[in-house]
Structures are given as C-alpha cells and as structure tokens.
Amino acid sequence: MDDVDAVQAQISRNMLSSGDWVTARLDGVAYLEKAPLVYWLMAVSYRVFGVHDWAARLPIAISVIGLCLVTSGFGVWAFGRRAGLYTGLCLATCVGLFLCTRILIPDVILTLTITLSMWSFLRVMDAEEPRPRLWAALFWASMGAGLLLKSLIAILFPLAAVLIYLFLTRELLSVHTWRRLHPFSGFFLAILIAAPWHILAAVRNPPLVSWTLDSGPGQYHGFLWFYFVNEQLLRFLNLRYPRDYNTVPRLQF
C-alpha cells in the first residue's frame, strides 16, 4: 500500500523485463523524475535473487551497512579505534536511519557517497597521506555516483562543504591544495560516470514541442528541461508543475 515502495520496486522490475535500463517506466509511462542508480541496483538484485520484496530492499540494506562501516572507518582514521567504534555504533542505532530506510528511497545511498567524498577530501588534505591522488579520484568518483542517485545536490552539498572549509582555513586560493585535489581530471572522472545516462536519456526522450520562454505550464520540453529545471530548480523554488506536493515554510524547514 506504500506508493513509494510500489513505484520504485515496479520501475526496477519493468527495467529488468523490458531491457530498457535508460528510461524508467511505470505502467508504460516514462518516469523521468529521478536518477536511475537505485533502480539499477534493485534490478540487479532481482536478476540475482528473483523478484521478491526483500530483493528490492537488499541494496538499501547493504548501503546502510556500508554507511556504518565507512563512518566507523572515518572515525578510526580521524580519532582512533575507540572513537571509530562509537561512531559506527551511534549510526547503526540511529532511529532516523531506521525510519528513513523502511521505504525504498535512495537517500541513504546518497549519504554514503557524500560521507565517502568528505572522508576522501580530508585524506587528500592530510599532508602525511601517502596516496592523495587515489583519494582525490575517490572524492570525485563519489560525487559522480551521487549524480546518478539524487542529481545536482550530490555535488552541491560536498563542494559547498569543501569550499567553506577551504575558505575558513585560508586555503581556498592555495595552488598546492588544488593540485592535490586534481579538479580537472577529477571533474572529468565524475562526468565520465554520470554523463552517459544523461545523454542517452535526453536522446531517447526528446521535446514534444519547441521550447520558448512563454511556453505554458504542463508542456513537456524533453528530458533535460523536465529533469533539471522542473524537477530540481522549480521544485526548490516551489514552482514545480504539477503542484502535487506539500511544502513547509523555508524558515521552518
């Protein structure tokens, strides 16, 4: 009876049965609101274990375990084994983590990619780190994977944290810092991970009408406009079409 569970699980089953891993569909209708990585993971789980409700939930469960392990490893590296144990225990027993993974939403996997990117960034910044280039690659690859989970916020949140940190530590303009982060090759790596699906989705879901500034609401202008403008920018501004959702005041949020 849970619409979120039903939508996510059915989309993944449709991908498996149709062989179309680019355009998510629900009852034959293109479902372009969300990025596809969580659907792919569930479809792979179906392929291996069969189409069952527990198979649909397995990628989320594994991601929770992975998040706890990464957070614990982060704590061990930063503060020692005792602190790492406590950080892992705190997260593993967090009621919010339990409540927010009872339904099939990819937020916990996104949290895993962001946590991994933050740890990778600090490893790169550590002057004693013997493999900064490897951690820099992991930093950018984590954001690339995040793009396939929740799109732009997967890059916005980590990069905002990094820029604020570099500003407060007065290293924002440090050439040495940016050399260690490898921004050009790293950005290319993130795009290499995320771009193929976006390109294929745009090609397979072109605009039905020509787009102009005075186009009325409800007109479909193709995947790129719908996915980035309507579902992200306009949704954030509370202007998304159709208005089929509730919001709270920004200050309260």
**Domain limits for position 251:** 215-253
Which position has the higher pLDDT, 5 or 84? 84
Cα 174 to Cα 166, 169, 179, 180: the distances in Å are: 9, 10, 9, 10
pLDDT, average across residues 93-97: 92
Lowest mean pLDDT across 91-105, 110-124, 169-183, 206-220: 206-220
- Answer yes or no: is 81 within a domain: no
Are residues 153 and 219 located together in one domain of the fold?
no
Are residues 110 and 197 located together in one domain of the fold?
yes
Are residues 118 and 169 located together in one domain of the fold?
yes
Are 26 and 33 in contact by the 8 Å Cβ rule? The answer is no
Q: Taking 90 as the threshold, does the pLDDT of residue 200 lie above it?
A: yes
Listed residue (74, 204, 192, 92) closest to 135, CA to CA: 74
Q: What is the mean pLDDT of the chain?
A: 90
Are residues 247 and 170 located together in one domain of the fold?
no
- Answer yes or no: is 231 within a domain: yes
Q: Residue 240 — very low, low, confident or very high, per pLDDT cuts 50/70/90?
A: confident
What residues contact residue 75 under an 8 Å CB cut-off, 6+ apart? 83, 84, 85, 86, 87, 88
- Answer yes or no: is 179 within a domain: yes
Predicted model pTM:
0.89
What integer pLDDT is reported at residue 144 of this predicted model?
Answer: 96
* Element spanning 29, H or E: strand 29-30
pLDDT, average across residues 64-69: 97
Please give the tally of structural domains in the chain.
Answer: 2
Are residues 189 and 243 located together in one domain of the fold?
no
What integer pLDDT is reported at residue 104 of this predicted model?
Answer: 87
What integer pLDDT is reported at residue 239 of this predicted model?
Answer: 82
Spell out a b/e string for 162-196, using b for 16 or more CB atoms within 10 Å of the CB, else e: beeebeeeeeeeeeeeeebbbeeebeebbeebbee
Listed residue (152, 150, 146, 224) closest to 189, CA to CA: 146
What integer pLDDT is reported at residue 92 of this predicted model?
Answer: 94
What integer pLDDT is reported at residue 1 of this predicted model?
Answer: 52
Q: Residue 252 — very low, low, confident or very high, per pLDDT cuts 50/70/90?
A: confident
Q: Residue 245 — very low, low, confident or very high, per pLDDT cuts 50/70/90?
A: confident
Q: Taking 60 as the threshold, does the pLDDT of residue 214 lie above it?
A: no
Q: Contacts for 125-131 with beta carbons within 8 Å, 24 or more apart?
A: 125/177, 125/180
Q: Taking 60 as the threshold, does the pLDDT of residue 9 lie above it?
A: yes
Are residues 197 and 232 located together in one domain of the fold?
no
Are residues 116 and 193 located together in one domain of the fold?
yes
Are 221 and 207 in contact by the 8 Å Cβ rule? The answer is yes
Are residues 226 and 149 located together in one domain of the fold?
no
Q: Which amino acid is at 160?
A: A
Q: Residue 195 — very low, low, confident or very high, per pLDDT cuts 50/70/90?
A: very high
- Answer yes or no: is 133 within a domain: yes
Cβ neighbours of 71 (radius 10 Å): 21
Question: What DSSP string describes 188-217?
Answer: HHHHHHHHHHHHHHHHHS--SS---TTPPT
pLDDT digits (tens, 9 = 90+) for 37-52: 999 999 999 999 999 9
